[in-house]
Amino acid sequence: MVGALESDQSFAMAEKFDILSEGFDPTAVAPEPLPLPVTNGTGADQEEENLKKTKVVINGGGEREMVLGRNVHTTSLAVTEPESNDEFTGDKEAYMASVLARYRKTLVERTKYHLGYPYNLDFDYGALGQLQHFSINNLGDPFIESNYGVHSRPFEVGVLDWFARLWEIERDDYWGYITNCGTEGNLHGILVGREVFPDGILYASSESHYSVFKAARMYRMECEKVDTLISGEIDCDDFRRKLLANKDKPAILNVNIGTTVKGAVDDLDLVIKTLEECGFSHDRFYIHCDGALFGLMMPFVKRAPKVTFNKPIGSVSVSGHKFVGCPMPCGVQITRMKHIKVLSNNVEYLASRDATIMGSRNGHAPLFLWYTLNRKGYKGFQKEVQKCLRNAHYLKDRLRDAGISAMLNELSSTVVFERPKEEEFVRRWQLACQGDIAHVVVMPSVTVEKLDHFLKDLVEHRLVWYEDGCKPPCLVKDVGINNCICPAHK
């Protein structure tokens, strides 16, 4: 009787909810509010309505207009409560599957036009799929296990040892950890410097990553912004003037191993020499090297100055999701063991110590880094660096052949050129812009074919932008007279 009753109830519910109607198509894609990939089609006016403009202060005290990205609230995907009959109809699962399928299609499309940001998109981590079902968390100190047993510390320490060898510091002399992003590496490096010299002044070039100045605000540090050369590297003459004006206080310095916009590499040896000539002994300064992208490329470039702990530096950080090609943001931070003692504390809750910033850390990131470092090794990275530099020179030469002002620093794969006139073009190719310049960061995943596609698209659009006597901007102040080929400087 009970079985019959349950059968009758199930049949009644099936009739009520119409589990599979005659018109149901399990392969159909449910409509949802994901934006379509940006194309060259119409709709530019509507796009402009979704953008906001603001004023930003530029060097010299003036202002210029900056275009912000779209307001995501206009395309956000709402989280909704399941309907009472969802477990029978499966409509919710079908809807979510369609959203994810559409999102994947968008990712594939946008990846085709990715040029302005330093991410290596050439990777395959299928072998690690078997580990994605675990909540891996490397809480606290990477060198001391905690009570939480689902961690990847052996992989993390293996990665750290690899970078310690790269930057020439003995295993017993360094401490480090895998961060959640490049910014965290800068935040940690500057924090160590501040703890070593609580009354120190932070010096950073005006073209340093914005996270450096974020650190100064977070830690309430006195900060001196140093001028740069036309290449984007720190101006050591201005640095000298600012040091001499503050000789009574220790110096904490951020050195860029590749600036954000121009890919310029600060001259570490000249920076150290300037500090010494201004009367700063090695126990009165702390240097953090921000090597977000080029920190991993520089060791494989012939004649490039070395970033090494054999020099009087305090820490080095590098991003893992940039040149390495990790699919999630992460990074590596290495400092001297003697410095970390001021930050490290015992945590009974973890049965470990902690000198990190975030505490809980993504335990999957070390697996991805370890996997790639083992697959490629030093020789593999050297080949990829050579490929990037070769393709960057190709792009720079092709731009100049087309009459477009362009600059490429000697140790860089970041090609700087005139900013496209239309924001739609900028968004299509996902270019990073600042003032009158834009850049392409040539990564291992950027092929010559992709560069040719971009060049063709840019040249065709410029014919429209600069018809009827309209002239491209002069970039002398941004790239120098030798790299500007505007009508006034051809």
Secondary structure (DSSP) of 95-133 = HHHHHHHHHHHHHHHHHHT--SS--------GGGGGGTT
* Distance of alpha carbon 369 from alpha carbon 111, whole angstroms: 21
CB 249 within 8 Å of CB 160: no
Q: Can you read off the two tokens belonging to residue 478?
A: 């941004």
* Distance of alpha carbon 412 from alpha carbon 398, whole angstroms: 17
Q: Do the strands 285-290 and 315-319 form a parallel or antiparallel pair, or are they unpaired?
A: parallel
Quickly count: other Cβ atoms within 10 Å of residue 421's Cβ: 15
CB 216 within 8 Å of CB 203: no
Closest CA to 119 of 327, 383, 395: 327
The DSSP symbol for 21 reads -
The helix (run of H) or strand (run of E) holding residue 7 is helix 2-17
* Distance of alpha carbon 34 from alpha carbon 77, whole angstroms: 7
For residue 25, give the amino acid letter.
D
* Distance of alpha carbon 402 from alpha carbon 478, whole angstroms: 19
Tell me, yes or no, if 412 is annotated catalytic: yes
Q: Tokens 């393709």 sit at which residue?
A: 391
Cα four-point dihedral sign 99, 101, 103, 109:
negative
Closest CA to 363 of 136, 51, 43, 157: 136
Phi, psi at 381, each rounded to 5° = -65, -35
CA distances from 314 to 188, 221, 285, 391 (A): 11, 18, 9, 34
Q: Which alpha helices (H) appear in 402-447, and where do they start and end?
A: 423-428
**CB-facing half-sphere around the CA of 195: CA atoms within 13 A:** 16
CB 436 within 8 Å of CB 478: yes
Quickly count: other Cβ atoms within 10 Å of residue 412's Cβ: 27
Which of 206, 412, 413, 445 is catalytic? The answer is: 412
Q: Which alpha helices (H) appear in 220-363, and where do they start and end?
A: 236-244, 268-277, 337-340
- Find how far residue 33's CA is from the centre of its chain: 28
* Distance of alpha carbon 21 from alpha carbon 87, whole angstroms: 15
Catalytic center residues = 412
